[in-house]
């Protein structure tokens, strides 16, 4: 029996996966599925009593029946049995969801919580295969089915799955997940972030029934505007030569038939002369149907090209200006935390649209698939990022493997989404040889997985003299777009400094200001020199938008940030109260004064290119 995992654990030391293999992807979003969402029983386990014995030896590596941990989901069968847990008598949490906002006792909790779901065995026809799919679990997930370990996944924002064909009982089954959101030095991200460490099974869990031979993955894209040539590949499982695969776009009356090679890959090309290109002005999506044997995969597909040439970004061979905003995967209004539903994602995208955006930077990690797809339907271009954030352990090979795996899972999930135009590989990382080598390897990895999009990272500025700011970084030479964060007026002087600063960016490449801004508590008013007021934040935006006009090759910006979000780094009572206040909306969705400054700027900016 084959077990497919997003990460296959072969050795774990101090909570770190030492050798990981990225599995083949599984296109699951549009597949028929059986939801395992809803109420799950939980056991809070800060000492990891259910995982280790008193010698710190994992129970799941032992064969003694008496020493089995919580994953076994055992019940007392005799009066003398010694079993010190009982899921049936334990409290519950909802999945998907973070534990921090579901129970006030868990608000700051970082550690292990065991989740247990009992489900009935679905009806499966002879020869069909069954997969268990997780949208995301933060951060480490040890997954057990009926007492057997399926594997471990590291990383809190990307999907993973296991094949569980033949592993179910006749009737009811016990699915147990040990969820651990503890931060650690070798993690991606590391111990230090500026966002809330929401723990839990934060995205959908589902069962997917597929034929014995099925369409595992596909990649489709437009080669060029001029040729109108659509090409790509389909990957089937098991890998088998000679299988006929049909690709059709019914609205365009187009169909192609291809045959798989010995790796189970079928390549195709179709000329679509009547193709309507995807763009923010007209986010056209076509119904795509892929058929192989008894399996059919249906999805939406948009077609566009994105490239950088000189100091411009071209969408569909036309220069484009990216009117953006950064977004965290958090909806704090109405008591929410991590985004865990399509309607919350749609709310955030609608706020960005009201601001006048045609572009969003999804910071600082992969957001939900709902977020990406809703943005695609609404014509919002996307910068998609992995959490190589600040100072991770750039000298640790296992850390690199972890980052590369998260990058792989992110790209494989979303590379068919027309609105994603940039894969971002890092944010505000220190300039040194080890870091540059680490991220350069990620750049090579990203291009090997998808060479149809731009590659960038959020770099930092420095000063050549008191008023000459520079962006000079060895990474810039291998990136397609030079992006940088700057906080002149907030962390760097007062807003008037913006009017004195000049810029030196010595690259013949497009430039994006990936972050700027300042904090303001909604409703707090004062003079423009009164920090924390809406007036101070407004002045930063006014002066910054004047300053950036001088930057040659400026192709877009994504100020920090759409809405106030929770951060343990922000304790100032009466002002921050645990929130980063740089949002243009408050955490309740109230617009601050700076919102209207940026909205007016975007309203008057050329949609094609800011001159």
Co-location of 434 and 535 in the same domain? yes
Name the residue among 308, 228, 340, 271 with its Cα closest to residue 508: 308
Co-location of 298 and 404 in the same domain? no
For the chain, give percent helix, strand, coil, nearest 5: 20, 30, 50
- Is the CB of residue 363 less than 8 Å from the CB of residue 427? yes
Query: Residue 103 CB: number of other CB atoms within 10 A?
Result: 14
Instruction: Report how many domains make up the chain.
Output: 3
Co-location of 168 and 254 in the same domain? no
5 is a domain residue: no
Across the strands, what pairs with 330?
338
Provide the pLDDT for residue 605. Answer: 85
Place of tokens 């079993």: 83
Query: What whole-number distance in Å separates Cα of residue 361 and Cα of residue 277?
Result: 22
Is 496's pLDDT higher than 50?
yes
Query: What whole-number distance in Å separates Cα of residue 291 and Cα of residue 300?
Result: 15
Average pLDDT of span 151-169: 97
Co-location of 203 and 218 in the same domain? no
- pLDDT tens-place string over residues 508-564: 999 999 999 999 999 999 999 999 999 999 999 999 999 999 999 999 999 999 999
Co-location of 224 and 206 in the same domain? no
Residue 332 pLDDT grade (very low, low, confident, very high; cuts 50, 70, 90): confident
Q: Per the confidence metrics, is the pTM higher than 0.85?
A: yes
Token code pair at residue 260 = 């798989």
CATH of the domain at 270: 2.60.40.10
539 is a domain residue: yes
- Is the CB of residue 588 less than 8 Å from the CB of residue 577? no
Percent of all residues in the chain with a pLDDT value above 90, rounded to a whole number: 91
Distances (CA, A) of 117 to 73, 95, 206, 209: 10, 10, 12, 19
Co-location of 272 and 372 in the same domain? no
Residue 67 pLDDT grade (very low, low, confident, very high; cuts 50, 70, 90): low
Query: What whole-number distance in Å separates Cα of residue 354 and Cα of residue 338?
Result: 22
- Is the CB of residue 288 less than 8 Å from the CB of residue 300? yes
Query: What whole-number distance in Å separates Cα of residue 24 and Cα of residue 234?
Result: 12
Name the residue among 478, 375, 374 with its Cα closest to residue 426: 478
Co-location of 161 and 244 in the same domain? no
- pLDDT tens-place string over residues 444-483: 999 999 999 999 999 999 999 999 999 999 999 999 999 9
Give the residue numbers spanning the domain of 176.
Answer: 12-210
Written in H, E and C, the secondary structure of 52-89 is ECCCCCEHHHCCCHHHCCHHHCCCCCCCCCCCCCCHHH
Provide the pLDDT for residue 335. Answer: 76
**Is residue 378 classed as helix, strand or coil in its secondary structure?**
helix
- pLDDT tens-place string over residues 384-406: 999 999 999 999 999 999 999 99
189 prior amide bond cis, ω within 30: yes
What is the dihedral sign for C-alpha 89, 94, 100, 105?
A: negative
Co-location of 96 and 199 in the same domain? yes
Provide the pLDDT for residue 66. Answer: 53
């Amino acid at each position: 029996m084959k077990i497919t995992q997003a990460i296959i654990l072969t050795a774990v030391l101090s909570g770190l996966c030492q050798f990981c293999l990225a599995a083949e992807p599984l296109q699951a979003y549009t597949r028929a599925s059986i939801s395992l969402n809803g109420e799950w029983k939980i056991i809070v386990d800060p000492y990891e009593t259910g995982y280790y014995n008193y010698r710190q030896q994992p129970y799941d590596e032992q064969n003694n029946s008496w020493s089995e941990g919580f994953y076994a989901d055992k019940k007392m069968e005799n009066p003398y049995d010694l079993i010190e847990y009982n899921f049936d008598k334990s409290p519950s949490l909802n999945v998907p969801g973070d534990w921090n906002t579901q129970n006030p006792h868990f608000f700051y909790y970082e550690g292990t919580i065991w989740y247990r779901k009992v489900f009935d065995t679905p009806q499966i026809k002879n020869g069909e295969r069954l997969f268990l799919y997780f949208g995301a679990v933060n951060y480490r997930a040890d997954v057990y089915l009926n007492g057997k370990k399926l594997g471990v996944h590291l990383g809190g924002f990307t999907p993973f799955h296991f094949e569980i064909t033949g592993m179910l009982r006749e009737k009811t089954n016990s699915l147990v997940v040990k969820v651990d959101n503890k931060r650690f030095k070798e993690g991606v991200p590391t111990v230090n972030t500026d966002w809330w460490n929401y723990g839990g099974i934060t995205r959908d869990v589902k069962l997917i029934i597929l034929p014995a031979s099925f369409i595992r993955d596909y990649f489709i894209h437009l080669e060029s505007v001029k040729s109108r040539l659509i090409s790509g590949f389909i990957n089937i499982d098991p890998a088998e030569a000679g299988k006929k695969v049909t690709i059709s776009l019914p609205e365009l009356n187009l169909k192609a038939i291809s045959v798989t090679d010995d790796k189970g890959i079928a390549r195709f090309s179709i000329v679509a002369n009547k193709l309507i290109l995807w763009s923010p002005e007209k986010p056209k999506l076509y119904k795509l149907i892929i058929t192989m044997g008894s399996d059919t995969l249906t999805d939406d597909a948009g077609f566009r090209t994105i490239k950088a040439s000189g100091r411009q970004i071209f969408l569909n061979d036309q220069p484009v200006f990216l009117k953006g905003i950064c977004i965290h995967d958090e909806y704090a209004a109405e008591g929410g935390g991590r985004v865990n539903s399509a309607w919350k994602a749609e709310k955030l995208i609608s706020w960005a649209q009201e601001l006048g955006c045609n572009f969003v930077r999804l910071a600082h990690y992969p957001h939900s698939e709902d977020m990406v797809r809703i943005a695609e339907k609404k014509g919002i271009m996307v910068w998609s990022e992995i959490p190589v954030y600040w100072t991770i352990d750039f000298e640790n090979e296992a850390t690199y493997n972890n980052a590369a795996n998260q990058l792989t899972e992110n790209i494989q999930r979303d590379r068919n989404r027309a609105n994603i135009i940039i894969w971002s590989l890092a944010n505000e990382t220190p300039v040194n040889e080890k870091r540059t080598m680490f991220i350069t390897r990620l750049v090579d990895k990203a291009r090997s997985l998808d060479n149809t999009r731009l590659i960038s990272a959020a770099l930092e500025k420095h000063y050549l003299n008191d008023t000459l700011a520079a962006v000079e970084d060895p990474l810039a030479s291998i990136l397609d777009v030079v992006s940088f964060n700057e906080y002149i007026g907030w962390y760097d002087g007062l807003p008037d400094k913006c009017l004195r600063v000049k810029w030196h960016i010595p690259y013949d490449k497009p430039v994006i200001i990936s972050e700027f801004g300042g904090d303001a508590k909604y409703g707090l008013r004062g003079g423009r020199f009164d920090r924390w007021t809406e007036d101070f934040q407004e002045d930063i935006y006014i002066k910054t938008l004047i300053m950036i006009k001088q930057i040659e090759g400026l192709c877009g910006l994504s100020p920090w940030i759409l809405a106030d979000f929770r951060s343990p780094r922000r304790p100032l009572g009466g002002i921050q109260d645990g929130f980063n206040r740089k949002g243009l909306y408050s955490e309740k969705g109230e617009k601050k004064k700076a919102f209207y400054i940026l909205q007016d700027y975007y309203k008057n900016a050329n949609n094609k290119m800011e001159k």
